[in-house]
């Protein structure tokens, strides 16, 4: 759960900065005890240096304080209520753009569908998704009265049984349960049309059917999938047409343990440059090395979770990408003067999917387009979470 904590020793004013916390809750000290020694040292390093970071926040948040980093049950209920509210508000996307969008929640899915091939394995991947998650949080707060902040999913914490975690255990405080168990094969990753590469078979989770427990039981998914999924044909109009169906999940430990464990988190923090960081974080296209980004998407799996284009249609997408942003924020904080400007990442530094077709490098002045979901921004304005329009950090 997102909480607030004061960075009282900033070189600017004594601002109170939004701090995002762990959706699953739990005791922070116990969590630290489970980490490798280096990771404990890293978080100690961050704690000791945060006071030296200059905050240049445009509108720093100032109400409230809770240093625990845990999501209480009442706070989880508030977050769930806000997400459900967003799913009921009318869409702002014109019907000629997407005939299938039925809600403000869907507006964000439309934007992701339309831009998938120019926001993955690209130079704008990390800042684009940072702004995407921030604007989603902003919609929850400003349009649905939510007073908290966007939670993240601490990937390693329940890697051995994510389906039993507070995120997916199916109680009233969760993001809904796993899908009902059905015998099935795991998902097959098929590269998007026109970018090349072969199919990759992944292991199955321990669900596969409809979500029938928790707050998002029997939730209706309106858009996608763009690619065909097991038991679901591609949706009309390239996934932008109306295709109502029930939410499915296939949560299980195999992908979480393989791609998003404590060793993964440690290795990410150790990467010396953005190219190596992103190669681990996002994986290698068309291979089984799909990194924590793909690994957690396929931990959720199901429909729409296993469809790269439509994946924001599962509420679990947003806590996963909260953690993606958390890891990048920590990595940047190790050397902020350099890493708040470090954008290009080898073959992932261009403006097309893994530079296919060949394209120029992404630039800090490039615009992050949110379509009809939210306002746009320039990449350079979202590279530092403690300046400009953002103003947050993570526990």
The least confident of 14-18, 240-244, 258-262, 365-369 is 14-18
pLDDT band at 9 (very low <50, low <70, confident <90, very high): very low
pTM attached to this predicted model:
0.87
pLDDT band at 14 (very low <50, low <70, confident <90, very high): very low
370 against 356, higher pLDDT: 370
pLDDT band at 188 (very low <50, low <70, confident <90, very high): confident
Q: Domain ranges in the chain?
A: 3-394
- Determine the distance from the C-alpha atom of residue 90 to the mean position of all C-alpha atoms in its chain, rounded to a whole number: 23
Q: Give the residue among 60, 115, 61 at the shortest CA–CA distance from 373.
A: 115
Distance of alpha carbon 351 from alpha carbon 241, whole angstroms: 26
Most confident of 42-51, 222-231, 380-389: 380-389
pLDDT > 80? residue 44? no
pLDDT band at 15 (very low <50, low <70, confident <90, very high): very low
How many Cα atoms occupy the beta-carbon half-sphere of 245 within 13 Å?
23
pLDDT band at 343 (very low <50, low <70, confident <90, very high): confident
Class of domain 3-394: mainly alpha
pLDDT > 50? residue 290? yes
Phi/psi region, residue 346 (left: phi>0; alpha: psi -120 to 50; beta: rest), is left
C-alpha dist (Å) from residue 12 to 15, 318, 329, 382: 8, 31, 20, 19
pLDDT score for 12: 26
Per the listing, tokens 């200059």 go with: 54
Q: How many CB atoms lie within 10 A of CB 158?
A: 20
* Contact criterion met (CB below 8 Å) for 309 and 7: no
Stretch 205-229: mean pLDDT: 94
pLDDT in tens, 154-176: 999 999 999 999 999 999 999 99
* Contact criterion met (CB below 8 Å) for 236 and 243: yes
37-49 vs 316-334: helix crossing angle, rounded to 10: 70
* Contact criterion met (CB below 8 Å) for 107 and 101: yes
List, as own/partner pairs, every contact residues 163-170 make where C-beta atoms lie below 8 angstroms and the sequence separation is at least 24, other chains included.
Answer: 163/205, 163/206, 163/207, 163/251, 163/252, 163/253, 165/24, 166/23, 166/24, 166/25, 166/26, 166/71, 166/76, 167/23, 167/24, 167/316, 167/319, 168/249, 168/251, 168/316, 169/214, 170/213, 170/214, 170/217
Indicate the average pLDDT of the chain: 85
pLDDT > 90? residue 60? no
Per the listing, tokens 């195999």 go with: 254
With a pLDDT cut of 90, the percent of the chain lying above it is 68
């Amino acid at each position: 759960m997102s909480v607030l904590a004061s960075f009282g020793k900033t070189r600017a004013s004594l601002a109170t900065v939004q701090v995002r916390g762990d959706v699953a809750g739990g005791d922070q000290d116990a969590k630290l005890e489970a980490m490798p020694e280096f990771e404990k040292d890293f978080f100690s390093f961050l704690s000791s240096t945060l006071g030296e970071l200059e905050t240049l926040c445009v509108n720093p948040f100032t109400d409230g304080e809770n240093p625990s980093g845990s999501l209480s049950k009442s706070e989880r209920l508030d977050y769930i209520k806000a997400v459900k509210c967003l799913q009921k508000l009318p869409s702002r996307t014109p019907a000629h753009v997407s005939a299938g969008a039925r809600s403000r929640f869907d507006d964000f899915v439309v934007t992701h569908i339309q831009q998938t091939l120019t926001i993955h394995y690209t130079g704008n991947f990390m800042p684009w998704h940072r702004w995407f998650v921030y604007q989603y949080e902003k919609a929850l707060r400003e349009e649905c009265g939510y007073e908290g902040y966007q939670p993240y999913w601490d990937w390693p914490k329940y890697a051995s049984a994510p389906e039993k975690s507070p995120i997916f255990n199916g109680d009233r405080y969760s993001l809904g349960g796993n899908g009902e168990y059905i015998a099935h094969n795991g998902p097959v990753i098929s590269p998007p049309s026109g970018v090349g590469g072969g199919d990759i078979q992944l292991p199955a989770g321990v669900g596969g059917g409809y979500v029938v427990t928790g707050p998002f039981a029997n939730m209706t998914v309106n858009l996608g999938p763009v690619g065909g999924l097991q038991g679901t044909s591609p949706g009309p109009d390239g996934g932008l047409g109306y295709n109502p169906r029930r939410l499915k999940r296939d949560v299980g430990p195999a992908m979480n343990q393989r791609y998003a464990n404590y060793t993964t988190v440690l290795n990410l923090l150790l990467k010396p440059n953005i190219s190596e960081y992103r190669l681990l974080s996002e994986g290698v296209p068309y291979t089984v090395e799909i990194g924590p980004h793909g690994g957690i998407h396929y931990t959720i799996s199901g429909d729409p979770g296993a469809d790269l284009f439509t994946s924001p249609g599962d509420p679990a997408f947003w806590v996963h990408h909260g953690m993606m942003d958390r890891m990048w924020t920590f990595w940047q904080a190790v050397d902020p003067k350099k890493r708040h400007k470090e954008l290009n990442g080898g073959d992932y530094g261009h403006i097309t999917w893994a530079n296919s077709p060949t394209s120029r490098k992404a630039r800090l002045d490039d615009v992050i387009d949110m379509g009809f979901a939210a306002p746009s921004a320039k990449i350079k304005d979202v590279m530092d979470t403690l300046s400009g329009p953002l103003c947050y950090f993570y526990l």
